[in-house]
Every structure is written in structure tokens, then in C-alpha cells.
Amino acid sequence: MAAAGRILSEEGVRNLSMRRLAKELESTPMALYHHVRDKDELLLLLLEAHAAQFPRTEMPSEPRDQLIKGAQALHDILTECPWIVEVLASDDLMAVSALWIVESIIDGAIRCGMTPEQAVYAYRVIWYYTAGELLLRVARGKHYSQPDAGAHREKAFADLDATQFPRLSSLAELWPTLTSRNMHRSGLIAVIDGLLRQTVG
């Protein structure tokens, strides 16, 4: 696990393979299969280790604040291992060490006045938004190695027909505004308030 974490932090997910890990351990790829069932299990163990280390924060008593804080924690805990989202996708329940976050979100939603059905629905919407941010970050990281990272988009804007796309062509320099944690957080609040208004008025 330590070796895997080392590769992950030093060379990125893209370079974490069973073969590469075996090399790091000066062993053979097959030896690993005596400790994990497959690569996914290895990744889930890495998430579990990471989540266990993540400090479990106190939750605010105000239900809306709890919803926001829970959703923010969901994002924060995964921001250092966004690659895991792809593995998590199949059974969209978190690692056991992070289940308190899901519990907090559902609890906050219900205490805001949502029915259990609405709370699950709200969790899903929040999860899509969060997973989208994380998965796009990973995807961006993959293409980011190429030299034409921003150049491609710049060219697309330059080629834009201003009469056909008046709004877009005026936004060329505004577009690449950095997608920061602040942007994620205010989006999260908009999403949560939108959900609250829709379900409990």
C-alpha cells in the first residue's frame, strides 16, 4: 500500500499499474494477486486508507449548514484521490471510512424537511456535481501532458464565427478562468439551495 501510494503521488494514477507496482516492490506482478483480488480492490484499499486518515469534522446543528459541510467534505476527501471516483461509480456507496459523510448529507437533507426519497435524490445531484468536477479534473490531467494544452481551445475561440456565436466569441479571454475550490464551493451552495427550494420550498 505504501509503495502504491508512493507511485501515485510521484508519478500519477496513469503510472500505477500492477506491473509497475510489482517492479517498485522488486517482486512479480502475480505476487500482488495473492493480496488483492484485482486492481480495483487495490484502488479501493487505497481510498480506504486515505479516508481513514481524513479528520472527521464536527457537524453544524443547523441542517442546511450540515448539508453544505457534508457535501464539501465529500469533495475534499476525494480531491486528493479523484481517480477513485471511476471505481466508486459502480456501487455508488463510499468507502466505509467515509460513510459518515454520506450519513451527514442524508441526515442534513432530512432535517431540512426532505422525505427519504428526496434526500437520496438530493444526494445523487450533489454526487453528480462533485464527481463531475473530480472526473473532469482527472481527464484534464491526462491531456495536460500534451504541449497544446490551452492552444487548442484558443484556436477554437479564434475560429469562432462572431455573427453565429456572438456570446461565445466575446468570452474568449474570460473562458479559461481557473476552476478553483472557491468556484466549486459556490456552485455547491447554489446546487444545495436549488434542491432545498425545489423539495421543501
Partner DNA sequence: ACCTGAACACCGTTCAAGT
Residues that bind DNA (CB under 7 A): 15-20, 27-31, 33-35, 38-40
Contacting residues for 96 by C-beta, under 8 A, at least 6 apart? 48, 51
Nearest CA-CA partner of 190 in 139, 198, 115, 110: 198
Q: Which is nearer to DNA, 19 or 181 (CB)?
A: 19
**Is residue 47 classed as helix, strand or coil in its secondary structure?**
helix
Binding site partner of 27, from DNA, a copy of itself, none, Cβ cut-off 5-8 A by kind: DNA
The partner in contact with residue 53, picked from DNA, a copy of itself, none with C-beta cut-offs of 5 to 8 angstroms by kind, is: none
CA atoms lying within 13 Å on the CB side of residue 26: 0
The C-alpha cell 463531475 sits at 132
- Classify residue 68 by its DSSP letter: H
Asked whether position 101 contacts a copy of itself by CB under 8 A, the answer is no
Give me the amino acid identity at 41. Answer: E
Phi-psi region of 2 (alpha: psi -120 to 50; beta: other; left: phi over 0): alpha
| Rounded to 5°, angle at Cα 179 from 178 and 185 | 135
| Least distance (Å) between residue 39 CB and DNA | 4
Q: Is 132 in the site for a copy of itself (CB under 8 A)?
A: yes
Q: Which of residues 3-42 bind a copy of itself (CB under 8 A)?
A: 40
Binding residues for a copy of itself (CB under 8 A) = 40, 85-87, 89-93, 96, 99-100, 102-103, 106-107, 110, 116-117, 119-121, 124-125, 127-133, 135-136, 139-140, 142-144, 146, 149-150, 152-153, 156-157, 160, 164-168, 170-171, 174-175, 177, 179, 183, 186-187, 189-195, 197-198
